[in-house]
Structure 1
Amino acid sequence: MKKNETISNLQIRNLLITTVIGVGILSLPNQMVTILDNDGWIPIIFGGLLVIPFAVMLDRVYKLYPDKNIYQIGREVYGKFIFNIFMIIILMYFVIQDAYVARIFAEVVKAYLLETTPIEVIIITILFISAYLARCEIQVLGRVATLVYVILITLVGFLVLISLPDADPTNMLPVFNADFKKLPSAITGALFSYAGYEVVFIAYSSSDDKNNTLKYIIRGLLVVIGIYLIVFVITLSLFGIDQVKRQIWPTIAIANEVDLPGYFLEDLEGIILALWVVIVYSTLGPLLFAASRIFLNIFTTKSHDFIVLLLIPIIYVISILPVNVVEVYEKFGKVSNYFIAASIMGIPAVLFIGALVKKRRSKA
């Protein structure tokens, strides 16, 4: 493998984190509190931990086929026609996920920053900017992810710092008091916030040290769980259950709730949103990169750059289908839940089982 096609495990970890944490960090507290009240932190943990066994399966598959990528492995195990069906499903998932992220990004930017700018203009702008990153090699994505990871940690630390003086820990109480019959539904909703982890399916084969890649993937997932928990605790401590339920994006509302003495920073909302825009850029880019790579391997096309540009109008059309932000969450949420189950769980499990069976047959 060429040097510019390899990526370090640290970069894979950072790529996973920055791809997963995009728009989900804004609405997750609202979604979890709406279902399980104060116990919304429980599905956040379970949702993240649920991904780990499938990451282990993926690692095992790559150990069985150390010199192959996911496309080569899948075609060897199931044949080109059958595995291409799986890949088309994942391609559809990445395209829909790109459309969802772009639309939520546009809704937030229009609501808080560019009130008079049409949604369509904002979506087209972020898609073309993200396309620039998506057309790069995996090594560039890894470097950008490492830079954005620092920005992400800075943002989370900043949120904690400005929230502590006004936080009320009693808003977290009581715990273990929710209707746990709703827990499966809450975990399904939380799992949606881990969408984007699938980018490691593609990045794994480019690792420069596959023996330790799984460790970094698990660490990345644990970091995501930790960040989600911190944001959940902060928002609930500041606002309480009722206010969090009424706000679609309570994470942004933190800036309006805190009161810093001496007007140290007057436009906290602008600062938080500016940092968040960079994070979304690092989410859309890898998702678009993954979609284009899958397209390239399904249809054996050589021009990666052309595919990226070809996908943009498709993503744009899908992103503007919902009439308003409520419809965005309802429609994309329902559709994505099926695709997430197929991608996060289905592909690793199917490859793992098929690879084991094929290896045992070949030995026999």
Structure 2
Amino acid sequence: MNRLPADRISTSQTTIILINMMLAAGILTLPRVATEKMMTPDAWIAVIVGGLISMVIALIMVKLCEQYPDKTFYQYNQVIVGKTLGSIISLAVVFYFLLLAALEVRVMAETTGLFLLQGTPIWAIIMPFIWIGLYLTLGGINAVARLLEIIFPITVLFFIVVVFLGLKIFELDNLRPVLGMGIKPIIDGVPATALSYSGYEIILIIYMFMQNQEKAKKVVLIGIGVPLIFYTLTLVVIVGALSVEGVLSQTWPVLTFIRGYEITGLFFERFDSLLLVIWIMEIFSTFIVSYFAVAMGLAQVFKKDTKIFYWGVLPVVYLIAMTPKNINSLFAFGGWISKFGFVLFGTIPGLLLLLSYIRRKNT
């Protein structure tokens, strides 16, 4: 694929794509998942550690991309390890993004059906969502980037307002004692944060489209740093407001937290529905970028037109999204995806970078 001017994205657009990829369903589920794994109020420490690990892995990815600036991951891994093994690796990455896209769609449908459109069948919520996503991704990476530029500032502003308005029910004692059970729960809790940080690996795909590739390291550090701040703030405030026991008793603790207070006299006295509407846009962002990565990967592996796969993948996403039978199986599905992604992107880019250095040294 040639880099056409219309395909290029700016540094700020690349950063926003990374941030939006991570600020999706994870922020709604992270407090419960992390706290359930650790059973202590120290989940926020695990989130920080998980974010720092993600930064290191992302920098390795950037270093790998720098070796092949005019190719996507799907193309240059075949140069490094050969066509057959490279195609297998590419299909594994495609499979990951496919699962991630389906997960985001299903989480969106579950939360929408529970809080906004009670009684509406899951399929009726999913169908228009994925069709709109298809329409947008057909416009290419530029159309996606421009939409995310609109969504991101709205999300940031509203999230900050909602969190700080809720500090009236915050209790610092709920976060004590710090490290009361030692460091082991934190080590055990770091993998539980993997799903929330899922998304930074998209740099492997969109690096080729960057106008200023020399700024890629800065992009990934900011792109992961912003969600790290969001997630840490979320864990501190939610656990501080609800306590560990309160978080564990709620399926969607963030929404429970927002429902726990009212601000009399404002235009909106209850913010949970408004937050959901805005956060659905974030989930949509993750879906469309993942969908873009799936279609591009299949097109480059099989040497076909991308539009064929945009249309062909649509029913597959729908079927996978409908697979979880209930909310518990949905959380289990998300946990499996996070583990799969952690292993896949925690090992493959580093190995490919090492092999790339060896290959270049021997030629």
Q: TM-score, normalised by structure 2?
A: 0.95
Task: Using the TM superposition, name which of 67-76 and 121-130 deviates more.
Answer: 67-76
Instruction: Give the match for residue 210 of structure 2.
Output: 207
Instruction: Give the match for residue 10 of structure 2.
Output: 8
Tell me by how many angstroms 1:14 deviates.
Answer: 0.5
Instruction: Give the match for residue 185 of structure 1.
Output: 188
**Within 5 Å, which residues of 2 pair with 1:212-361?**
212-262=215-265, 264-302=267-305, 304-334=306-336, 336-361=337-362
CA shift digits 1:51-80 (9 cap, x unpaired) = 122222222222222333323321211111
SS at match of 1:47: helix
Letter in 2 for 1:327: S
Following the alignment from structure 2 to structure 1, what is the Cα–Cα distance between the partners of residues 181 and 138? 46
Q: Is the CA contact (8 Å cut-off) linking 2:262 and 2:270 kept in structure 1?
A: no
Change (3 A) 1:108 1:171: same
Following the alignment from structure 1 to structure 2, what is the Cα–Cα distance between the partners of residues 338 and 235? 25
Following the alignment from structure 1 to structure 2, what is the Cα–Cα distance between the partners of residues 293 and 281? 18
Tell me by how many angstroms 1:215 deviates.
Answer: 0.8
Following the alignment from structure 1 to structure 2, what is the Cα–Cα distance between the partners of residues 360 and 42? 41
CA shift digits 1:124-167 (9 cap, x unpaired) = 22111222222222122222222221022112212223212222
Residue number among 45, 51, 56 corresponding to 1:53 in the alignment: 56
Following the alignment from structure 1 to structure 2, what is the Cα–Cα distance between the partners of residues 337 and 42? 19
Which runs of 5 or more residues in structure 1 are unaligned?
A: none
Letter in 2 for 1:111: L
Instruction: Give the match for residue 159 of structure 2.
Output: 156
Residue number among 23, 26, 29 corresponding to 1:24 in the alignment: 26
Q: Is the CA contact (8 Å cut-off) linking 1:51 and 1:344 kept in structure 2?
A: no
Change (3 A) 1:183 1:167: closer
Following the alignment from structure 2 to structure 1, what is the Cα–Cα distance between the partners of residues 182 and 9? 44
Tell me by how many angstroms 1:28 deviates.
Answer: 0.4
Following the alignment from structure 1 to structure 2, what is the Cα–Cα distance between the partners of residues 300 and 34? 44
Instruction: Give the match for residue 80 of structure 2.
Output: 77
Q: Is the CA contact (8 Å cut-off) linking 1:38 and 1:178 kept in structure 2?
A: no
Following the alignment from structure 1 to structure 2, what is the Cα–Cα distance between the partners of residues 138 and 256? 37
Following the alignment from structure 1 to structure 2, what is the Cα–Cα distance between the partners of residues 231 and 181? 22
Following the alignment from structure 2 to structure 1, what is the Cα–Cα distance between the partners of residues 346 and 334? 19
Q: Is the CA contact (8 Å cut-off) linking 2:62 and 2:204 kept in structure 1?
A: no
Tell me by how many angstroms 1:341 deviates.
Answer: 2.2
Following the alignment from structure 2 to structure 1, what is the Cα–Cα distance between the partners of residues 198 and 33? 15
Confirm or deny that 1:170 pairs with 2:173.
yes
Following the alignment from structure 2 to structure 1, what is the Cα–Cα distance between the partners of residues 142 and 133? 16
Tell me by how many angstroms 1:81 deviates.
Answer: 1.1
Letter in 2 for 1:6: R
Following the alignment from structure 1 to structure 2, what is the Cα–Cα distance between the partners of residues 317 and 71? 25
SS at match of 2:274: helix
Q: Is the CA contact (8 Å cut-off) linking 1:123 and 1:316 kept in structure 2?
A: yes
Q: TM-score, normalised by structure 1?
A: 0.94
Moved over 6 A (4+): none
Following the alignment from structure 1 to structure 2, what is the Cα–Cα distance between the partners of residues 62 and 340? 18
SS at match of 1:75: helix
Which runs of 5 or more residues in structure 2 are unaligned?
A: none
The CA RMSD over aligned residues, in Å, is 1.6
